[in-house]
Amino acid sequence: MNNSKNILNYMFGKGAIDNLYLILNDKKSENEYVIYYIDEYFGNSELVKQLPIKKEDELFFVQTKDEPKTQFINKFRDLLVERNKNNPKAIVSIGGGATLDTGKAVANLLTNDGDAEDYQGWDLVKNPGIYKIGIPTISGTGAEGSRTCVMTNVKSGLKLGMNSDFTIYNQLILDPDLTKSVPREQYFYTGMDTYLHCIESLNGEFRNAIGDAYSRQAIELCREVFLSDDMMSDANREKLMIASYFGGCAIANSFVGVIHPFSAGLSVVLDTHHCIGNCITMNAMEEFYPKEFKEFNEMAKKQGIEISKGIAANLDDETYLKLYNSTVIHEKPLSNALGDSFKEQLTLEKVTEIFKRM
């Protein structure tokens, strides 16, 4: 039976990030220096100028053009070891899912031998990671609340996180002011990650009352946000931040379904980013999720968001085979959605047809 862990501390509200220095001051530790991972978008921003960064701290900007790779996580660890900064008081991550996952992965790697690749899987991390603070600047993936950090091992093609209680943030600062600057399209795609995750869970076979409760509430908040006139109003950015956090808690207690495996196929074979990949996939999911397909399109229309079409319409046989393999490899979610004999339904021909429809 699961002995579930939640986030112990979180601070929520406009301007909450101003309290970062208090949290860091209160934290007792052997060393005083802090490591920051910050989304490259904030490179020269006021936000960075206002952070309580000290001379001895290390600041890294995280690129988001590519999603996290195990080799970059190892590299970040190596840099800290070289600079003798491998036992910080805290790791602070400020950004979207990619940056939040980077901070989590490095925190685990600094206290565990070996490389990031060695911990892709379930409960492989042996020692608690460095104390870490997560500060999301875009809402939807739930990376701030979840017990994983998604990374791709380019050599093996494996896209899998370090699923572990040690991957959960020790402290969150949820400040809805930080999501004001997100471009509208990106806000929609990433916000939809929590909606899609939760509808997949609720339509699945392996369920429990806790996962269901988090999912239902997250979906309700998404409806309020995306069916309203302005999805990015102050009140809606607050709601979406909470929907994302609940979605992250739901991930720890449930499984996804058909959408995420197809989206993972797009990501591994065509390098499509996670959240837009989910939205593109959803456009081909009417037969699996008819009610939600309709609602998803209503939300996109209401917000004036066009989801691009035709990404996998005209590919060669070899690429369709790759897409097929990187989709059906996700046995747990697919059997959650379609039963253990899902491969009888998802033949190469069928999977190809679905990709062509996207």
Residues in the site for ligand NAD, rule: CB under 6 A? 39, 41, 64, 67-68, 95-99, 101, 137-138, 140-143, 146, 148-150, 161, 178-179, 181-182, 186, 190, 193, 248, 251, 274-275
Query: Rounded distance, CA 243 to CA 77, Å?
Result: 32
Quick one: 17 or 276, whose CB is closer to Zn ion?
276
Dump the DSSP string for 290-343: HHHHHHHHHHHHHHTPPPP--TTSS--HHHHHHHHHHHHT-HHHHHHHH-TTHH
Are 310 and 284 contacting, i.e. CB atoms less than 8 angstroms apart? no
Q: Which of 14/83 has CB closer to ligand NAD? A: 14
Residue 146 binds: one of ligand NAD, Zn ion, none (C-beta under 5 to 8 A by kind): ligand NAD
Minimum CB separation from ligand NAD for residue 349, in Å?
A: 29
Q: How far apart are CA 349 and CA 335, in angstroms?
A: 19
Check residue 193 for interaction with Zn ion (CB under 5 A).
yes
Q: 23 CB contacts (<8 Å, ≥6 apart)?
A: 11, 133, 171, 173
Complex with Zn ion: residue 193 or 295, whichever CB lies closer: 193
The entry of ligand NAD, Zn ion, none near residue 64 (CB within 5 to 8 angstroms by kind) is ligand NAD
Min separation Cβ 118 and ligand NAD, Å: 18
Which residue sits closest to Zn ion, CB atoms considered?
A: 193
User: Which CB atom, from 28 or from 65, has the smaller least distance to ligand NAD?
Assistant: 65
* DSSP assigned state of 193: H
41 binds, among ligand NAD, Zn ion, none (CB under 5 to 8 A by kind): ligand NAD
Check if the beta carbon of residue 133 is closer than 8 Å to that of residue 93: yes
* Residue 19 in tokens: 């309290």
101 sits near Zn ion (criterion: CB under 5 A):
no
Return residues touching Zn ion (CB under 5 A).
Answer: 193
